[in-house]
Structure formats: structure tokens, C-alpha cells
Amino acid sequence: MRKIVITSGKGGVGKTTITATLGRTLAKQGFKVVLIDGDVGLNNLDVVTGVESRIVYDIGDVLAGRCRPYQALVLDSESSMRILPSSVNSEDVSSQAFRGVVDSMQGMFDFLLIDCPAGIEHGFHRAVSSASEAIVVTTPSASAIRDADKVFRLLSTYNLKSTSLVVNMLRHDLVSRGEMLSPFEIAKLLHTTLVGAIPDDDVITVYQQLGKAPDFAPSRKAFEALVKNVVQGTFEVEPKRKRRWWR
């Protein structure tokens, strides 16, 4: 089982949306996937996936011994993916306890994705210490890139098999005019490997409020390229679409 933490230095870069859509795309391709919300107290993964009304147990119940980990998993409405919701209780959860829950999933799934809290506080270290791989999400803004650099520096202190980058909310029109850094330039600045470049997509923004990820979203091909890179270990980013002369 591959344990991947999806993290970011700055909030609002679309990290949870990337986690949910990546998980769904993997599941639709036949992989067994579980998502774990590592943001204790500020959980949003259940809202983005639209399963909040069907939660019976959460990770707090698992840690308290009120249920087994598998009993707390909620089936996604859009795919075969499972979600382990975070606890609404903001009491501190130790890294060791969280790691025990993650390791209990061993053998049941192909991919375990951890939605890491934004920032570099205790929640970050708790989530990263339970994973073997890390994907950092950033946007092309200067502040987000700077924060991503801090995250990569911290990740280098962990014994991770790999760390990589996803650039989200990309505007190809601004890149072509030189008004925005390209994802390759951002990866070069951060001295890391680029595995995904997701365009700014209003469809995803609207539909995530309903817990859905429509197949007609403009970013669909970019997510498929991201999944291919994650699964196969390749680094092919979905190229910019060519604009027709009549547009």
C-alpha cells in the first residue's frame, strides 16, 4: 500500500480538492483507495466529498476504541473510494496514535491518501510521519511558492521515498503572456519534480460544494495525467491546449 500525504504550506491552494479528485480518479481506474482526513478539528474532506451526512464514526471513535478503523470508513458517492473522516473534537491526537490508524489499513488498499492540515504545525508533522511519500500543492502566487519551499525543506528531514509538486489554479493564458510563472519554472525554483499542473477550473469550484467531480470538467485530463504520473512514476504533465484561430 502506498501512503501519500498531500500537503501545502499555505491554505486555500486547493489541497483538499486535489486529494479528493486524485482519490476518485484512482478509484475509477480500478485501484482500491482510502482517504484519511488528517486535519483534526478543522475537517473539510467529508464536505468536499459530500459524505458528511452519512458519517457514523470518525477517527476519534477509532482512537477511543468505540469502533474498528474499517467500520468508520464511509463509501464515496461518486466512486468506490472510502473516506475516514476526521474528528470534530480538537483535542490533540499524537503522531503515534495517528500512525497506528494508518498502518491498520495495510493490505486493504492500494493507495492511502492523507489530507494534511495546511501550515507546518503539529498537524503537519503528525500527517507526514505516517506517510512514505509526499505531494506538495501550490499555486503560482509568490506567497504560496515561498511557503511551499519551506514545506519541502521540512520534508527533506523525513525519510520519505519521494516528494513531488502539483501546481494548482494554473492560468495558461497568463503563462503564455509571461504574466504568470509556468509550472516547470516553479518546479525549478523549488528544486523538485513536477507531477501535475491543474488549470483553474470553475466547474470544480462549483461542483465541489455538492461533493461531486463531473467528468466534463476542463481539468479532467490534467487529473488523469496526474494519476498516470503517480501510478507509473512518470513526469508527463498535460500540455497546454492549443487555441484555434477562430477563438
In angstroms, the CA 215 to CA 168 distance is: 18
**pLDDT at site 133:** 97
Cell numbers 466534463 correspond to 216
C-alpha cell at 156: 527533506
What parts of the chain have a pLDDT lower than 50? 242-247
**pLDDT at site 73:** 96
Cell numbers 470544480 correspond to 204
Single out the residue of 10, 7, 11, 17 nearest to residue 223, CA to CA. Answer: 17
C-alpha cell at 235: 513526469
Longest dimension (CA), the chain: 63
Three-class DSSP category at 120:
coil
**pLDDT at site 244:** 46
Rg of the chain on CA atoms, in Å: 17
Single out the residue of 104, 102, 35, 111 nearest to residue 74, CA to CA. Answer: 35
CB atoms within 10 A of CB 118: 21
Single out the residue of 2, 3, 6 nearest to residue 195, CA to CA. Answer: 6
